[in-house]
């Protein structure tokens, strides 16, 4: 869409209208690639009429690392570390999504206990992701206090990660076939403590923002997108639900026993920055519900599948069993061929539908792997969502979309 036929209605949606009469001489402004409010290394070349944005062009690829090409030369289990580095705000969801994709190709059935543990970790990751997004949105609108309140609890989530996998940010959590570790007593204690202490703090966060007049003035009607436009771009996740479409992969195509849990799908009405904020707020409460149910109904049994040719044996077994040593060697060296096949598996990531399209030619590495990255899709719509707004509005719009550069560029 060109600047000559864009106008903004009172509802914040974009429509074709009469040619725009410019007030000032048009100027070009670079927003990024190193602007502190872009939350990553990406550039927007904006055409400005004074303070008003009349057109924009986005640039991607500043931190492109060719993950999909690298994956063609790596054994399946070594690709997990690549997924960590896409949306690093919710790494466990990326890890589990990749493991489930490989399990689908291999025909491995994961025990119920492992599925429930995965759900707990993925929902903790979703909470951490939304804490970052909504906390930073507060910072970008001039309210620093809220992020300080809740960031302490992102740290609590990272401590739970450490109990499960020894890492915090790039977690490399779990394995093809299940989880690397079972839930320890200390991990369960920390999860229960989080479920008890976090809700009162989060209610205080909501009281600071949800009906705050300054915050609402900065976000209501800003960066709005209609449900039709969002769907035509391929939006999913909180950004699509904020526009009024109740699409959630966990419900539409359940995985990892999500059909066992009761939770609601929050939706907005206007698809603006305020609705995106409110949808993520409510999703945090729903994630807490899911974690409570999973912990209460955690099944007994093993935390990994009976698939010795794909799942690394326990280290102590490697030292005393020749069979375990052989399997360990073959898995680590990538010497087990995968079946020929073509699979797609999607999970509900922190930002939307995170999909893995995997083609195997029967070798030891993927023939082709493609990541469906929600942030890449959102960024295509960003210039359109900013037209007619000011620079300060453009900043909060980007913040509410939660575009993560690692996932954008991969």
Q: Given this model, what pLDDT does residue 26 score?
A: 92
Computed over every residue of the chain, the mean pLDDT equals 92
Residue 356, helix vs strand vs coil: strand
Confidence band for 17, pLDDT divided at 50, 70 and 90: low
Q: Cα–Cα–Cα angle for 87, 383, 10, nearest 5°?
A: 115
Query: Stretch 40-50: mean pLDDT, rounded?
Result: 88
* Tokens describing residue 401: 């979309």
Q: Given this model, what pLDDT does residue 335 score?
A: 84
Report whether 193 contacts 163 (CB < 8 A): no
Residue 86: phi and psi, rounded to 5, are -90, -95
Q: Given this model, what pLDDT does residue 5 score?
A: 45
Rounded Cα distance between 198 and 150, Å, is 8
Instruction: Point out the least confidently predicted range of 13-22, 82-91, 140-149.
Output: 13-22
pLDDT at 404 over 70: yes
pLDDT at 15 over 60: no
Site of tokens 């090409």: 69
Rounded Cα distance between 221 and 104, Å, is 42
Nearest residue to 131 (alpha-carbon basis) of 150, 152, 159, 145: 150
Q: Given this model, what pLDDT does residue 43 score?
A: 87
Tell me the β-bridge partners of 340.
361
Rounded Cα distance between 264 and 268, Å, is 13
Q: Classify the C-alpha dihedral 220-226-231-233 as positive or negative.
A: negative
Domain boundaries defined on the chain: 67-306+337-409
Q: Given this model, what pLDDT does residue 6 score?
A: 43
Fold annotation for 67-306+337-409: Cytochrome-c3 Hydrogenase; chain B (1.10.645)
Instruction: Point out the least confidently predicted range of 58-62, 120-124, 261-265.
Output: 58-62
- 142-178 burial, b for 16+ CB within 10 Å, e for fewer? ebeebbebbeebbebbeebbebbbeeeebbbbbbbbb
pLDDT digits (tens, 9 = 90+) for 295-337: 999 999 999 999 999 999 988 999 999 999 999 999 888 888 9
């Amino acid at each position: 869409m060109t600047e000559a036929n864009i106008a903004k209605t009172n509802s914040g949606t974009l429509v074709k209208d009469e040619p725009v009469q410019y007030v000032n001489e048009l100027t070009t402004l670079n927003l990024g690639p190193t602007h502190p409010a872009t939350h990553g290394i990406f550039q927007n070349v904006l055409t400005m009429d004074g303070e008003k944005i009349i057109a924009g062009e986005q640039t991607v690829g500043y931190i492109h690392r060719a993950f999909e090409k690298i994956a063609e030369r790596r054994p399946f289990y070594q690709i997990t570390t690549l997924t960590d580095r896409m949306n690093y705000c919710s790494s466990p969801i990326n890890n589990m999504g990749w493991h489930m994709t490989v399990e689908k190709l291999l025909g491995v059935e994961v025990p119920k206990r492992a599925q429930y543990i995965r759900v707990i970790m993925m929902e903790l990751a979703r909470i951490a992701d939304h804490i970052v997004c909504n906390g930073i949105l507060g910072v970008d609108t001039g309210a620093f206090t809220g992020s300080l309140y809740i960031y302490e609890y992102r740290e609590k989530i990272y401590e739970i990660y450490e109990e499960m996998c020894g890492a915090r940010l790039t977690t490399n959590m779990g394995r093809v076939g299940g989880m690397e570790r079972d839930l320890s007593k200390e991990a369960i204690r920390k999860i229960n403590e989080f479920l008890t202490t976090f809700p009162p703090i989060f209610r205080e966060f909501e009281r600071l923002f949800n009906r705050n007049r300054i915050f609402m003035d900065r976000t209501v009607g800003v960066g709005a997108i209609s449900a039709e436009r969002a769907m035509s771009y391929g939006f999913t996740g909180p950004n699509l639900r904020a526009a009024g479409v109740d699409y959630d992969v966990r419900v539409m195509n359940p995985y990892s026993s999500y059909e066992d849990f009761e939770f609601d799908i929050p939706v907005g009405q206007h698809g603006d920055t305020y609705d995106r904020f409110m949808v993520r707020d409510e999703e945090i409460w729903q994630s807490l519900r899911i974690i409570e149910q999973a912990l209460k109904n955690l099944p007994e049994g093993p935390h990994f599948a009976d698939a010795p040719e794909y799942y690394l044996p326990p280290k102590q077994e490697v030292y005393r069993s020749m069979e375990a040593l052989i399997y360990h060697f073959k898995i680590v060296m990538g010497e087990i061929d995968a079946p020929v096949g073509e699979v797609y598996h999607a999970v509900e990531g922190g930002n939307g539908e995170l999909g893995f399209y995997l083609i195997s030619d029967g070798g030891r590495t993927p023939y082709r792997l493609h990541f469906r990255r929600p942030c890449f899709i959102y960024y295509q719509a960003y210039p359109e969502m900013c037209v007619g707004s000011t620079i300060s509005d453009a900043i909060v719009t980007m913040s509410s979309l939660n575009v993560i550069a690692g996932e954008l560029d991969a």
